[in-house]
Each structure stands twice: as C-alpha cells, then as structure tokens.
Structure 1
Amino acid sequence: MTAARNRLLQHVLALSPLILLAVLTAVFALVDPRVVSTQSLLNIVSQATPIAVLALGALIVLLTGGIDLSAGVGVAFCAVLVASLIDAGTGLSGALAIGLAVMLLIGMANGAVIALLKIPPFVTTLATMVALQGATLAVASKGVLMLKEPWLRLIGVERSFGAPNVIFATALIAIAAGVLMRRTRFGLRTYALGSDPAAAELAGIPVKRQTILVYAASGLFVFLTAFIMISRVPVVTPNIGGTPLLLDAIAAAVLGGTSIFGGRGTVWGTVVGALIVSLLTTALRIFGTDPSSLELYKGAIIMAALMADSAMAYAKARLVAAAR
C-alpha cells in the first residue's frame, strides 16, 4: 500500500504543472467565462509563445544551477539590432544571421567568464544586462522602427487552421528543445552538470566547455525570442522584451517544475508554465486589475513557485528515503 501511494504521489508531482494549469483555468472560468472563450484561449497561447521560448533558454541555464539575468534585455537588444539592420537595407536573412551570431557570442562570453574566471552567474549576467541596456539605446538611434517584412508577418500574424502561425513555430522550437535535452549528449551533460558538478567532472564531462555551451544555448533562445517578438509586433522599440519578459520566463520555468538548484526540469513542464503565466496575466486583465499591479502579482507568483519548488524537493527526498 505504501509503495502504491508513493508511486501515486510521484505521478502527481510529475504532473503538477498540468494540474495547476487545469485548476486555474477552471477557477477563472467560474469567475468570468470570458477567460475561456475561444478567442481568449487563442490569445493566451499566442501571448505565451515568447515567454515559452525564453523560458526554454532559462530552463537550460537553471538546470546547471546558474541564471542568466541578461536574457530579457538581450531580447530587446537583439530585436533592435535586427530591426536596425533591416531598416539600413540589410536583407532579412542577413540581419537574422548577424543577430544570431551576436547573441551566440554574448552567451559564450558569459559562459567563459563564469567557467574560466569563476565569477558567479548572477554577477556575470547582471553586468552583461547593464552593458546590453546601454548597447540597446545606442543601436536604437531612431527610437521606433517599423518592420514590413512579409516573412515576419507570415510567422507572427498570419493564421493556419484557425490558429496563429507563431503557435506552430513555437511548438517546433519546443519539440527541437525536447530532442536537444533528452536525446543528445549536450542535454544529458547539462542534467549531469546540474545534478552533481563534481561527479560530472569525475565522469569525464568537460565542465568548463559545457558551461560555455549552456550559456551559448541561452543566447540562441534569446535570439529566437527576439525573432518571435518582432514577427508578432511590427513596431520595434528599446522597450520590447526587457526585465518583465525575463521575470515571466523564470516564473514559467519554475512553475513548470524546474529547480533553481539545478538538475531537475523538463521542456514540456516549462511550456505549461508559460501557459500558466499567460493565463494569469490575461485573467487579471479581464478581471479589471490595475496594470501597475500586474508585476506585483507576478512577483508573488515567483515567490510562491519557489516555495512550491522547495516543498517538492522535500517530498521527493522523502519518497527516495521511503523507497530504500
């Protein structure tokens, strides 16, 4: 009986992000049915797309016990950089290639400082965030840029089968991330590094190189998020993305079951976490919540998620001890 109960509890803990999403949807539907209207649900999923993509990058970094505070501002910098290049006459493919290369280099630089100089991720990425804030303002000399690229509109605005194409694009990114984290050496090494760095090094994993690759991957997802953002909104300003998006992404990752202590987290859980954050934001707006209070609620959500993360870690530790 005890073994069966432990297995049931393990399944509940594994499915907790999905259960939370279902419970919140049911509660909000009772409060105001407009939250679960067809158009509202499509908007929730569509608005979750940039959160989900950036959260996938946060997942990879959090799995190692690190953090990338520069990711949100990096989205703004990359979006403005790509938009400025397009406005200057560079083709879309060329501008995207340059944006990708720059964000990979920034990610690798963060990883190199953390791995080689042993500077904590919090300090390293905080410094990078400040530098990118200045760089964003320097690049955005025109302030506001209008993009009229048909390919961007095709991905971010146009619809297929009644749903925005950006949802399908994000689904493909999530599937690719799932394969990366579960079916490749990179993913397995990332989990090992977060679970026990000393054991990973003893097992022959090149810890320093892996750390650099992890932050390069964060740069990749920052670029993909910027691409999603400029495809959805043709007006690009230095305020796009930024710290609010970073908070949403971290909240999504943690609500999806990612541990801030490293070693635990899934792609599907992170995507569900992004849907939870988007659902909460949409519901609060429909309920008439003051926009200035939204960030307060998001901060409370992150705190609650951290407390839940500690409780889940304790519960799983009890299960492991009971199984022995």
Structure 2
Amino acid sequence: MSETSIGRFTSSPRAARGLVAFMPLALLLLLLVVFAVIDPRIAAPVNLRNILLQSAPVALLALSAHVVLLSAGIDLSAGYAVGLSGVVMATRMHAGGDLATSALLGLGAVLAVGAMNGALVGWTRLPPFIATLGTMTIVQGLTLFAAPEGLVVVNSGVLAAIGQGAVLGVPAPILVVAVVSAALWFLMRRTRFGVRTYAYGSDEQASILAGVRRGPQMLGVYLLAAVLVFLTTVMVVAQVPLVQPNLGGISLLLDAVAAAVVGGTSIFGGRGTVGGVLVGALIIGLLTNALQVLGVDPSAIDLFKGVIILGALVIDAGMRALHRRAAGSAA
C-alpha cells in the first residue's frame, strides 16, 4: 500500500470506523489463540462454556454502561446498585416474601437510583461523574444499612433455573443475555429514544436545537440503565445465591465499563454497538479466566485488564481526533 493510499485511508472516518468495529472481535480471537497455545485447557469446550457463563453478569451490566456512555455520561453507582437491589430482594425473601414481590422491590430500588441520577444529570446539569459519584456513596451506605446480617442465602427454584438451567442444551444465562441484547439493539437502533440518545451523545447542542429535551432524555437513559442493572442483579443472585452488601461493587463495575469500552463504545458518547459490548464482555471474561487458569496473581490480572482498557481509550481518542480532522477538512 502506497503512502498516498495510507493517507487516504486514515483520513476516511468510514474506513476507520470499519477497522475499529472489527478490532474487538480480532482481539478476542487473538487472545483465544495465544492462550490456547500457552495452555490447551483454556480452549477446552468445558472451559469455554464456563467463560460464557461467567461473562453473563458482566455483559448485562456492560449493556447498562453502554447506554449511559452513548449519552456521553457514566454511571459510577451501577456496581453498588447491584448490591442494593440484591440485598433488598434477598432480605424480603428471607422474611418470607414471594419472588415476584421481592423482585419488584429490588427493581424499585434501582429505579429510584436511576431516577436520582437522571434528575441530577438532566435537570441540575451536574457532570455525570460527579452526580453518580455522589449517588454511589449514598447507595453504598443504604446497602450496608439494609443488610445488618451481612449475608443472606436465597432459595428459589426460578432463580436456580435462570442461573443453572438450560433450554434445548443452551445454558439459560446465555439465552437471557441474547434476549436482552436483542431487545436493547431494537430499542437503541429502531426507536426515537435510541436515535436521540446517539444524537445527544454525538453533539449535545445540535440535538437540543433539533428538539431533544435534556432532562427527559437523561432521565430515560438512566432509568433504562437501572433496568439493566436490575437484570444484572437477578443474574448474579441466580448464579450464586449468596447475597451480601459487596455483591456487585467496584470490581463488577470496572469489568462492565471495560467490556463496553473495549467493545467499541466511545467514552465521548454517540458511538458503540450492542454486539461490540458482548464481544468486549467475552474479552474480559476470557482474560480473567485464562490468567486464573495460568495461576497469575490477581493484582496482575487487573494490570492486564488496565493495559487493554488503556489501549481501547487511546483508539477511542484517535477516532475522535480523526472525526474532528475530517469535519475540519469538510468545512
């Protein structure tokens, strides 16, 4: 390829977007091949199945992060909201409540957090980082207050079926993630709300001039994210029915945000796909599982994740600079 061709390619946002969209899948395949060569146990069918199952909660919470990031926001409270929702559900069930009522209470708890985030970001115009940092602290305190016993064991046949069951040989957690992902794809790509979320994240001022109202839009974004946080809670409790205040926390949140960013969702808003997020969740799941199989120290696992996240952020910043350059040339 000549220098002229290279320049022509790098100045084309469409070509660059195509390359970036393919990169998460290429990275997943590369990591799988490398780890399989290092230790064949990692690529064994039973271990690959375990990776898929372990990635399910991360994928659901990553979809929540994806929605917020598309609007050029962030939700730092999501990890602790998983714990709050789980504690509310488990405490109610432990006291003799039925699953449906307990689930509605857990959903109500995260919707309240989402409404608070949406109001703070949408109407008071607080930066999302600051707003959700405040609600994160509140949620953490509420979770500790709501779980005086510290640990609650949840016994539910329905939850057990969701976490450990299968339909026609396909594990239930994978089916749940697939259905939720398809529904979210339709919502974000085929409805006015989704189109407006992309538009708002791409250019806030232009979208407002086009009729998008900041307050209601941000409220909708954070409420939708809260619903996905609740689904994450259900999946976590279904897979491991031991509920404690640190059920989600910062670790699950970082994995989810990492999956969204590595999967191609821009931290600057307006760009990302549901499919990319799912691939990102598999990358994080594969990386965690493989390094555990290899006996790598847990702190080193975080180091490897950090390197991958940093690389994704650099690519994201480069894409943003490329778009600005293309816009300047067009002007």
TM bin, normalised by shorter chain, reads: over 0.9
Equivalent runs, 1:29-68 vs 2, <5 Å: 29-68=36-75
Count of matched residue pairs: 324
Find the aligned partners of 1:146 and 1:188 in 2 and give their Cα distance.
42
Answer yes or no: is 1:75 the counterpart of 2:65: no
Name which of structure 1's ranges 312-321 and 6-15 shifts more when overlaid on structure 2.
Answer: 312-321
> Does the CA contact (< 8 Å) of 2:84 and 2:109 recur in 1?
no
Change beyond 3 A, Cα 1:194–1:138: same
Aligned-residue Cα RMSD (Å) equals 2.0
Find the aligned partners of 1:20 and 1:297 in 2 and give their Cα distance.
14
Structure 2 residue runs without a partner (length 5+): none
Find the aligned partners of 1:27 and 1:114 in 2 and give their Cα distance.
43
Counterpart selection for 1:214 from 221, 230, 244: 221
| Code of the aligned partner of 1:107 | G
Q: Helix, strand or coil for the counterpart of 1:15?
A: helix
| Code of the aligned partner of 1:46 | L
Equivalent runs, 1:57-136 vs 2, <5 Å: 57-136=64-143
Q: Helix, strand or coil for the counterpart of 1:288?
A: coil
Counterpart selection for 2:150 from 143, 152, 167: 143
Shift of 1:321: 7.2
Counterpart selection for 1:279 from 265, 280, 286: 286
> Does the CA contact (< 8 Å) of 2:61 and 2:232 recur in 1?
yes
Change beyond 3 A, Cα 1:25–1:193: same
1:245 aligns to what? 252
Counterpart selection for 1:196 from 196, 203, 206: 203
> Does the CA contact (< 8 Å) of 2:111 and 2:223 recur in 1?
yes
Find the aligned partners of 2:288 and 2:17 in 1 and give their Cα distance.
30
2:242 aligns to what? 235
Q: Deviations over 1:26-66 (max 9, x none)?
A: 11111111111101111111111111111111111111111
Find the aligned partners of 1:295 and 1:21 in 2 and give their Cα distance.
17
Find the aligned partners of 1:301 and 1:2 in 2 and give their Cα distance.
29
Shift of 1:299: 2.7
> Does the CA contact (< 8 Å) of 1:200 and 1:207 recur in 2?
no
Find the aligned partners of 1:175 and 1:286 in 2 and give their Cα distance.
32
> Does the CA contact (< 8 Å) of 1:52 and 1:249 recur in 2?
yes
| Code of the aligned partner of 1:173 | V
Find the aligned partners of 2:92 and 2:130 in 1 and give their Cα distance.
31
Counterpart selection for 2:296 from 289, 296, 302: 289
Change beyond 3 A, Cα 1:149–1:178: same
> Does the CA contact (< 8 Å) of 1:17 and 1:269 recur in 2?
yes
Answer yes or no: is 1:261 the counterpart of 2:261: no
1:186 aligns to what? 193
Change beyond 3 A, Cα 1:36–1:321: farther
Change beyond 3 A, Cα 1:302–1:10: closer
Find the aligned partners of 1:29 and 1:131 in 2 and give their Cα distance.
44
| Code of the aligned partner of 1:197 | E
Shift of 1:293: 3.0
| Code of the aligned partner of 1:22 | L
Q: Helix, strand or coil for the counterpart of 1:118?
A: coil
Counterpart selection for 2:184 from 159, 167, 177: 177
Percent identical: 45
Q: TM-score, normalised by structure 1?
A: 0.94
Shift of 1:79: 0.8
Find the aligned partners of 2:95 and 2:281 in 1 and give their Cα distance.
34
Name which of structure 1's ranges 96-105 and 242-251 shifts more when overlaid on structure 2.
Answer: 96-105
Find the aligned partners of 1:320 and 1:29 in 2 and give their Cα distance.
43
Q: TM-score, normalised by structure 2?
A: 0.92
Shift of 1:12: 2.3
Q: Helix, strand or coil for the counterpart of 2:74?
A: coil
Name which of structure 1's ranges 69-78 and 19-28 shifts more when overlaid on structure 2.
Answer: 19-28
